[in-house]
Amino acid sequence: HINDAIRNAFSVKKVSASHSKGEADIISEEPIDEAKLRETITKTGYDFVSMTSKPYEKHSLFGFLKK
C-alpha cells in the first residue's frame, strides 16, 4: 500500500517498493519533494530513512542503438 500512497501524493511514472530490501524506487519526470515524501511514507507506518535522486532520462524505443 506504500506504492498507492506515493502514487496518490505525486505525479510518478512508476513506483516499485520491496519490503525485504526496505526500499522504494520512484520514477518521476518532476523532482520529488523530500519533506512531502517523508510525510507520505511515515503516514503508512513505515520509517523514512533517506532519499537519493538522479535525473530522469527518457529512453527512446531504439535507445539501445546509440553509440
Is residue 12 assigned to a domain? Answer: yes
CB-based contact 46:57 (threshold 8 Å): no
Backbone φ and ψ of 43, nearest 5°: -65, -25
Non-local CB neighbours of 50 within 8 Å, separated by 6+ positions: none
Domain count within the chain: 1
Q: 12: burial class by Cβ within 10 Å (0-12, 13-18, 19+)?
A: middle
Residue 17 lies in domain: 1-46
Is residue 51 assigned to a domain? Answer: no
Read off the pTM: 0.78
Structure confidence at residue 20 as a pLDDT band (50, 70, 90): very high
* Measured distance CA(47)–CA(37) in Å, rounded: 11
Structure confidence at residue 41 as a pLDDT band (50, 70, 90): very high
Give the per-residue pLDDT at 60: 63
